[in-house]
Amino acid sequence: MIEACIAFVFGLLIGSFLNVCVHRWPRGRSVIRPRSHCVRCRKMIAWYDNIPLVSYVILGGKCRHCGRNISLRYPLVELLTGLLFFYLVLTMGLTVAAVKLCVFTAILVGLLFSDLEKRLLPDQFTIGGIVIGLVFSAFVPIPDFTAMMILGILFHVSTSATVHSIAESLLGAALPALVLWGGGWAYLKIRHREGLGFGDVKLVAMVGAFLGLEGALLTLILGSVAGSILGYGYIKITGKDTQTYELPFGTFLGAAGLVVALVGHKVLSTGL
């Protein structure tokens, strides 16, 4: 329990950094300089006004200098990241596998809010996440046997556990992303307008690099279903034009990825 509480605090700090990334990376800005400042009055934020969650509550959600509202996204990202870290360490212990999922879910939180806010999925999250996922696969086995089966059937080779896990990570990154890209290409040819951003393809590849083929496919299915139902419902309720409204598909994929990271192993074990 103590380890989980420490993970919660660490998650709050990571969430605070994610807020900087969510605001700056889609705008092409550095996350190092300048220091944290109010996005409206540009005044630098003192350390005591930059404590995750606490400062937001003390300040009443307003900037100390200009008195304008601070976006609710800041405490939401911090709290969500903290809770995810707490849950993962509580259920998995302080293990490399838990660290892997903490990193994965933090990236997804950043992508989810970036897409929701700016309709952009920064490469720093997606491509960087693919690389990190591949590295983790060498240390945390991916519970999938698709790549191993393909290697065995086509090349009649057996692999070590490490090579097997890396192969599963590579296949999980490549195949679902290729399928999604193919769907977007077909939509463009048929409808003569873009219906899918390449950032969504890279997001799915990142999920596959962390979770393997089954995890990526489950994320893609859940995200597509949620996007179709909830997205269409939102469009109808708000009266937006279905032909021009840009649905934040990356937001639904990110949320689906979080669900799969937390409970996907239970779903997959049932054979669903």
Contact (Cβ atoms closer than 8 angstroms) between residue 166 and residue 133: no
Which of 214, 219, 224 is closest to 204 using CA atoms?
A: 219
Tens digits of residue pLDDT in 178-199: 988 888 777 677 766 665 778 8
Task: Compute the distance between CA of residue 151 and CA of residue 157 in angstroms, rounded to an integer.
Answer: 6
pLDDT of 53 higher than 90 = yes
Higher-pLDDT residue of 191, 100: 100
Which pTM does this prediction carry?
0.90
How much is the mean pLDDT over the chain? Answer: 87
| Distance set, CA 200 to CA 109, 125, 181, 264 (Å) | 14, 12, 9, 20
Higher-pLDDT residue of 104, 158: 104
pLDDT the model gives residue 212: 92
pLDDT of 272 higher than 50 = no
pLDDT of 269 higher than 60 = no
Mean pLDDT of 83-111: 96
Tens digits of residue pLDDT in 107-142: 999 999 999 998 899 999 999 999 999 999 999 988
Task: Compute the distance between CA of residue 29 and CA of residue 14 in angstroms, rounded to an integer.
Answer: 19
pLDDT the model gives residue 186: 76
pLDDT the model gives residue 248: 82
